[in-house]
Structure 1
Amino acid sequence: MTNAPLPANDDPLVEVAAHWCMRMHAADCTAEERAQFQQWIDEDQSHAIEYVAMLEIWDLSEHLPASKPAPNQRPALRQTPSTTALPARPRRRGWRPQARAIALALVALPLAAYGGWIMGWLPNAYEHFETEQNISRITLGDGSEVELNSHSELSFSNYRDRRDVSLSSGEAYFHVTHDSTHPFVISAGDGTITVTGTRFNVWKYQDSVVVTVTEGSVRVQSERDGNDSTLTPGMQASFKAGDLKPKVKSVDTQTALAWREGKLILNDITLGEALPLLNRYLDKPLLLADQSTADIRIGGIYSTRDVASLVKALPKVLPIKLEPQSDGSTLIRTRL
């Protein structure tokens, strides 16, 4: 059986003691682990003291018998000549069932959390953010800064070996705090965006994702088993569900990120290309009647705060008509 990962050298002492406490009481604890534990105990007197304190907490819950310990569970704590013997721990009696259950819960949950953190299964911090009409500027627990566009939803989890972000919907511009040993991984759609410290934008619309880089480099993978692409400043990658590799191109980042200044720049693009950009600011989506309508071109600079008024004005500047639908959406059709 594979041994549990060893604690890192810079982990707080109480977390390391909790790790060894759980491993020494685990049924699958190996002789190699017991030797590693004894080596840790021998390294510093404070290790032995912290471990005995952790055993005190463990025994309070009566998760283990409070009588004589088994040899493979309590390896000898070596004492230096200047170290006084640690006092024996009295056996605890008379706990009522309710008290035992409470004590077990109070101890087991923190220890499980320590173990989950050490193994990389559980985060030690979780944050969730949602926006409605306005842009929000937030700082994540690791110090990374995020500008969250309207109608967006994002969550952040800090694990021991990585920082996980999930962009459920909408758009976010990231300035990631550099940490080469603690990568920043964003899940969006079926793909992931991995960085260690840089500035970039991620936009998720339905099952499509667009990543635009302004500083540093970003690795984009469209699917778990798909090929990845590395982006540098001025590059943009897009992918949707089922794409084995992102599509990469060069872009004008000022146009792509104009939303940060409350602007929507449509630089002579088709309605088919413009619709996703418009729909992210509307409560009910616009739909296209046919390909000929999708091919009509549009340009201009508009305010993201009043896209609904822009849509109402479209028939005045384009050869189209708007047809409200029963579900609240609006169908755009070419005006004959």
Structure 2
Amino acid sequence: MLQPSPVADGKKRQADATHWVALADARDLSENEQQTLVAWLNADDRNLGAYVQAKSVYQALNYRNSSLSKLNPPSLTPPGPSRRLFMSSAVAAGFAGLCLPQKVQDHFAMRHRGRQAPQHYVWNGNRVTVDARSGAYFSSSKTKNIMQVADGRIGMEIRRHQAWISARALKLAGKDADFDIKLEGQKIILSLYAGTMSWLDDAQHHTIKSPQIFHFSSKDNIRPELIKSHTLTGDTALIQQAWRNGQIILNNSTLQSAVEEFNQYYDTQCLISSNRLSQRKISGSFDILKINDFVQSVSFLLGCKTRYEKRKIIFYV
């Protein structure tokens, strides 16, 4: 008997996810439909990922300009009654051993364009920072706060209630913790600045302590593994967290690493003409949204030249 190809299987999963997202937005799901959706989500962790991804695309193109962006700081509270809220079963089903919460409030915060400063939210007393080109899905009830990281980098200070965090197949739980979580290629990077968290690995719970950076593998539906970890010093932690305040701090950093930081925020990309120049070191504090200040500083400090082309800024000697 022929087995479906991974490509065909992925397309069907995507189509199923799109169907459920659109249906849940159009009307309330019946009890049978709700049970069918939960069963589908529980059948495969990839179904949850497809559902959250479909939700992010739907809401990014969906005709909804969330009221979150108009508040300062914006609060993750329900939008007006003109739009239905998505049910939380998608996220809840992604955590083994968690039952489906009742009376939930769901939101998707997405920073899908460049040239955006990180945005701050208050979510049930917890402080959340969403970086540019990043997205996360938040679900909460009286007993559970769940965040599903979809893309990019998210910072969180858990101040009141325990929260469950999911990034691809990695599942974490924490209370009174301060951390950043970043999806980078085939890796998930957790920077834990304060407090402790639990890494929920199958039936085992591993306690991970601050201040440390943890690198996890992240390949499709394969169980994540801890690749490496190292201690965060006080200075390094301050540099790591600077993005939350719209700053990039360079401490004897290579020009290449500095350029990579700025390129996350702009459609216009910085390029370096030679390997030798890319390894030159630079220090300083820069505003994320003032790339011209950065370019001028590099030119002065390193004695190099710059050339502006269409959507390119080239550093050369």
TM-score normalized with structure 2 length:
0.55
Matched, 1:302 2:280: no
User: Which structure features the higher share of strand residues?
Assistant: 2
Per-residue deviation, 1:120: 7.6
User: Which digits, 9 at most, give the CA deviation of each residue in 1:37-83, with x for residues without a partner?
Assistant: xxxxxxxxxxxxxxxxxxxxxxxxxxxxxxxxxxxxxxxxxxxxxxx
Alpha-carbon separation, structure 2, partners of 1:161 and 1:139? 16
Alpha-carbon separation, structure 2, partners of 1:311 and 1:220? 41
Identity, in percent, stands at: 15
Alpha-carbon separation, structure 1, partners of 2:158 and 2:41? 24
Match of 1:218 in 2: 197
Among 120, 127, 135, the alignment partner of 1:145 is 127
Alpha-carbon separation, structure 2, partners of 1:119 and 1:260? 36
Match of 2:260 in 1: 276
Alpha-carbon separation, structure 2, partners of 1:191 and 1:311? 39
Q: What letter is aligned with 2:129? A: E
Per-residue deviation, 1:184: 0.9
Per-residue deviation, 1:209: 4.1
TM-score normalized with structure 1 length:
0.52
Match of 1:172 in 2: 155
Among 108, 116, 119, the alignment partner of 1:128 is 108
The answer to whether the 8 A contact 1:229-1:246 is kept is no
Match of 1:112 in 2: 33
The answer to whether the 8 A contact 2:242-2:248 is kept is yes
Per-residue deviation, 1:239: 5.2
Higher relative contact order (CA 8 A, sep 6+): 2
Alpha-carbon separation, structure 1, partners of 2:239 and 2:271? 24
Q: Would the alpha carbon gap of residues 185 and 241 (structure 1) be closer, same or farther in structure 2, given more than 3 Å must change? A: closer
Matched, 1:257 2:241: yes
**Range with bigger deviation, 283-292 or 293-302:** 283-292
Per-residue deviation, 1:205: 4.8
Structure 2: unaligned runs, 5 residues or longer: 1-25, 43-88, 91-103
User: Which digits, 9 at most, give the CA deviation of each residue in 1:82-129, with x for residues without a partner?
Assistant: xxxxxxxxxxxxxxxxxxxxxxx9997145336756998524543111
Q: Would the alpha carbon gap of residues 168 and 107 (structure 1) be closer, same or farther in structure 2, given more than 3 Å must change? A: closer
Matched, 1:330 2:310: no
The aligned length equals 220
Q: Would the alpha carbon gap of residues 106 and 314 (structure 1) be closer, same or farther in structure 2, given more than 3 Å must change? A: closer
Match of 1:321 in 2: 305
Match of 1:100 in 2: none
Alpha-carbon separation, structure 2, partners of 1:110 and 1:290? 62
Match of 2:172 in 1: 194
Bigger Rg, structure 1 or 2: 1
User: What do you get for the CA RMSD once the two structures are aligned?
Assistant: 4.0
Per-residue deviation, 1:241: 5.7
Per-residue deviation, 1:257: 0.7
Per-residue deviation, 1:143: 5.0
Q: What letter is aligned with 2:209? A: T
The answer to whether the 8 A contact 1:271-1:293 is kept is yes
